[in-house]
Amino acid sequence: MNKGEQTRLRIVKEAAALLNRHGYQGLAYSDLMAATGLEKGGIYRHFAGKEALATEAFEYAWKRAVEHRQHDLQSIEDSVDRLKQFVSNFVNRRPGVPGGCPLLNTAVDADDGNPELRKHAERALRCWLMALTRLIRRGQRRGEIQSQVDPPKLARLLVSTLEGALMISRLERKPIALLEGENIVRLA
Amino acid sequence: MNKGEQTRLRIVKEAAALLNRHGYQGLAYSDLMAATGLEKGGIYRHFAGKEALATEAFEYAWKRAVEHRQHDLQSIEDSVDRLKQFVSNFVNRRPGVPGGCPLLNTAVDADDGNPELRKHAERALRCWLMALTRLIRRGQRRGEIQSQVDPPKLARLLVSTLEGALMISRLERKPIALLEGENIVRLA
Which ranges of chain B would DSSP assign to H, the alpha helix?
3-26, 29-36, 40-44, 50-70, 79-92, 102-110, 115-141, 151-172, 176-187
Please name the residue of chain A whose CA is at the shortest distance from the CA of residue B157.
Answer: A181
Work out the percent of chain A whose per-residue pLDDT is above 90.
79
**Residue A110 reports pLDDT greater than 90:** no
Confidence of residue B94 (pLDDT cuts 50, 70, 90): confident
Contacting residues for B159 by C-beta, under 8 A, at least 6 apart: A164, A168, B125, B128, B129, B132
Q: Look at residue A184 in the predicted model and tell me its pLDDT.
A: 64
Region of B101 on the Ramachandran plot (φ > 0 left; ψ -120 to 50 alpha; else beta): beta
Residues in chain A: 188
Q: Using CA atoms, how far apart are residues A25 and A175, in angstroms rounded to an integer? A: 28
Mean pLDDT of the region A147-176: 93
Chain A window 28-67: which residues touch B at a Cβ cutoff of 8 Å? Answer: none
Q: Using CA atoms, how far apart are residues A18 and A32, in angstroms rounded to an integer? A: 8
Confidence of residue B77 (pLDDT cuts 50, 70, 90): very high
Residue B131: what are its φ and ψ, rounded to 5°?
-65, -40
Which ranges of A23-150 would DSSP assign to H, the alpha helix?
29-36, 40-44, 50-70, 79-92, 102-110, 115-141
Q: Look at residue A179 in the predicted model and tell me its pLDDT.
A: 87
Confidence of residue A187 (pLDDT cuts 50, 70, 90): low
Q: Look at residue A152 in the predicted model and tell me its pLDDT.
A: 95
Crossing angle for the helix pair A79-92 and A50-70, nearest 10 degrees? 130
Confidence of residue B156 (pLDDT cuts 50, 70, 90): very high
Indicate yes or no: CB of A104 within 8 angstroms of CB of B100: no
**Residue B169 reports pLDDT greater than 90:** yes
pLDDT in tens, B36-76: 999 999 998 999 999 999 999 999 999 999 999 999 999 99
Q: Look at residue B110 in the predicted model and tell me its pLDDT.
A: 87
Cβ-based burial of A88 (10 A; exposed 0-12, middle 13-18, buried ≥19):
middle
Q: Which of A29, A50, A128, A171 best probes binding to B when mutated, by most B CB atoms within 10 angstroms?
A: A171
Which ranges of A23-78 would DSSP assign to H, the alpha helix?
29-36, 40-44, 50-70
Work out the percent of chain B whose per-residue pLDDT is above 70.
97
Nearest to B12 by CA among B78, A12, A28, B1: B1
Mean of all residue pLDDT scores within chain A: 92
**Residue B96 reports pLDDT greater than 70:** yes
ipTM over 0.95: no
Q: Using CA atoms, how far apart are residues A160 and B180, in angstroms rounded to an integer? A: 10
Q: Using CA atoms, how far apart are residues A183 and A144, in angstroms rounded to an integer? A: 19
Q: Look at residue A186 in the predicted model and tell me its pLDDT.
A: 58
**Residue A116 reports pLDDT greater than 90:** yes
- Minimum distance, in Å, between the CA of residue B108 and any CA atom of chain A: 6
With beta carbons less than 8 A apart as the criterion, state whether B66 and B41 touch. no
This prediction's pTM? 0.93
Burial track B119-133 (b if 16+ CB lie within 10 A, e otherwise): ebbbebbeebbebbb
Indicate yes or no: CB of A161 within 8 angstroms of CB of B162: no
Q: Using CA atoms, how far apart are residues B182 and A80, in angstroms rounded to an integer? A: 25
Please tell me which residue, B119 or B111, carries the higher pLDDT value. B119
Interchain contact A172–B (C-beta under 8 A)? yes
Interchain contact B171–A (C-beta under 8 A)? yes
Task: Choose the weakest-confidence range: A16-25, A175-184, B141-150.
Answer: A175-184
A107 vs A23, A59, A113, A155, B38, CA distance in Å?
10, 13, 10, 18, 32
Q: Look at residue B185 in the predicted model and tell me its pLDDT.
A: 59
Task: Choose the weakest-confidence range: A114-118, A131-135, A174-178, A181-185.
Answer: A181-185
pLDDT in tens, A16-72: 999 999 999 889 999 999 999 999 999 989 998 999 999 999 999 999 999 999 999
Interchain contact B122–A (C-beta under 8 A)? yes
**Residue B186 reports pLDDT greater than 80:** no
Q: Look at residue B159 in the predicted model and tell me its pLDDT.
A: 94
- Minimum distance, in Å, between the CA of residue B9 and any CA atom of chain A: 23
Q: Measure CB to CB from residue A25 to each of B25, B105, B118 and give the nearest one.
A: B25
Q: Look at residue A111 in the predicted model and tell me its pLDDT.
A: 77
User: Is the C-alpha dihedral spanning B113, B119, B121, B126 positive or negative?
Assistant: positive
